[in-house]
């Protein structure tokens, strides 16, 4: 066994060696420059960092390099590194972006400034306090069904639900929406992320709740003036304004500003509207 153990060892460790070879080949002697906000709720400033540029590097790679080699206490959130989890949202040159999906090369050597999301209170460096979003989420009526799974639902019944369900809760749409960012209406306005959630709930063929009242009264749907800024920043390409907000606005209008509906509601309470919504939702065929 001894005679080939050197060879075995070599084989066992070769993959390891390759990793380093790759890194060396990729580090082409160039450097990346980054200006990162360092500070906390009491204020802060942009600090300059310089590091070796590696081919294909994303801003998150650079931030983590700085953390490991230059500023051990630099605060940043991340998990998947693959644009799947929505943890690493921050503002790059003033625009909300996922750090793990933004390539350094994109800026062609130009300035890269990284700030935390600004519509929420900063905790430290690139981390802000987004817990408000989870409170809003808790206030939304969850999915509820009278039907018993397994449901019979066809692709055509559900295909428009796939889009809102892609949301990775990066909260960048919340960050960019002027109703929150500029007007600070956090108490009255749920924000685009939660219109997206309401959309699939309202359109799910098996759900039996009515959320139109909440959308109008508690979630401030009327405060949205369809600027589409949210849609522009969504990293998973949800057409928030066209496919979530406008259809919900139409339903609310139908429900509350249609005189016939208004009369029905007076007479029958909310039940009538619930059945109406179910009928509009299309097939209910799961028995």
Binding-site size for ligand FES (CB under 6 A) equals 12
**Which secondary-structure segment (H or E) carries 280?**
helix 271-280
Are 230 and 176 contacting, i.e. CB atoms less than 8 angstroms apart?
yes
For the bound state, the minimum distance from the C-beta of residue 169 to ligand FES, rounded and expressed in Å, comes to 10
Kindly write out the interface string for residues 9-48 of this chain, putting x where it contacts another protein by CB under 8 A and - elsewhere: x-xxxxxx-xx-xxx--x-------------x--------
The Cα–Cα gap between 142 and 200 comes to: 11
Could you say which of 39, 52, 55, 78 contacts ligand FES (CB under 6 A)? Answer: 78
For the bound state, the minimum distance from the C-beta of residue 191 to ligand FES, rounded and expressed in Å, comes to 19
Q: What is the number of other CB atoms lying within 10 angstroms of the CB of residue 16?
A: 8
DSSP 46-76: EEEEEEEEETT-BHHHHHHHHHHHT-TT---
Kindly write out the interface string for residues 176-205 of this chain, putting x where it contacts ligand SF4 by CB under 6 A and - elsewhere: -x-x------------xx--x---------
Angle at 29 between CA 23 and CA 33, to 5 degrees: 100
Could you say which of 25, 26, 68, 80 contacts ligand FES (CB under 6 A)? Answer: 80
- b/e 157-187 (16+ beta carbons within 10 angstroms → b): bbeeeebbeebbbbbbbbbbbebbbeeebbe
Q: Is 125 among the residues that bind another protein (CB under 8 A)?
A: yes
**End-to-end Cα spacing for the chain:** 65
Site for ligand SF4 in 233-262 (CB under 6 A): 233-236, 238, 240-241, 245
Binding-site size for ligand SF4 (CB under 6 A) equals 28
Could you say which of 37, 49, 61, 86 contacts ligand FES (CB under 6 A)? Answer: 86
Closest to another protein by CB, 60 vs 245, is: 60
For the bound state, the minimum distance from the C-beta of residue 9 to another protein, rounded and expressed in Å, comes to 5
For the bound state, the minimum distance from the C-beta of residue 228 to another protein, rounded and expressed in Å, comes to 22
**Alpha-carbon torsion, ordered 164, 165, 166, 167, to 10 deg:** 70
Residue carrying structure tokens 């070599």:
10
Chain residues binding ligand SF4 by CB under 6 A are 86, 167-173, 177, 179, 192-193, 196, 224-230, 233-236, 238, 240-241, 245
């Amino acid at each position: 066994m001894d005679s080939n153990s050197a060879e075995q060892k070599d084989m066992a460790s070769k993959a390891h060696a390759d990793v380093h070879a790759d890194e060396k080949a990729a580090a082409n002697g160039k450097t990346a420059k980054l200006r990162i906000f360092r500070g906390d709720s009491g204020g802060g400033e942009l600090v300059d960092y310089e590091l070796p540029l590696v081919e294909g590097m994303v801003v998150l790679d650079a931030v983590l390099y700085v953390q490991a080699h230059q500023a051990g206490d630099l605060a940043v959130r991340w998990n998947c590194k693959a644009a799947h989890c929505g943890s690493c949202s921050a503002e790059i040159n003033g625009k909300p972006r996922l750090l793990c999906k933004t390539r350094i090369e994109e800026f062609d050597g130009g300035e890269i400034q990284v700030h935390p999301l600004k519509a929420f209170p900063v905790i430290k460096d690139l981390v802000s306090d987004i817990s408000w979003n989870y409170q809003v989420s808790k206030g939304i009526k969850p999915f509820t069904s009278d039907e018993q799974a397994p449901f019979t639902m066809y692709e055509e019944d559900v295909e428009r639900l796939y889009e809102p369900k892609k949301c990775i809760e990066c909260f960048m749409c919340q960050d960019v929406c002027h109703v929150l960012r500029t007007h600070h209406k956090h108490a009255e306005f749920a924000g685009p992320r939660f219109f997206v959630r309401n959309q699939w709930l309202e359109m799910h063929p098996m759900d039996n709740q009515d959320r139109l009242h909440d959308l109008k009264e508690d979630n401030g749907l009327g405060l949205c003036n369809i600027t589409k800024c949210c849609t522009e920043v969504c990293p998973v390409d949800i057409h928030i304004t066209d496919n979530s907000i406008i259809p919900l606005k139409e339903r609310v209008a139908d429900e509350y500003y249609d005189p016939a509906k208004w009369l029905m509601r007076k007479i029958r309470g909310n039940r009538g509207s619930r059945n109406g919504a179910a009928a509009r939702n299309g097939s209910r065929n799961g028995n």
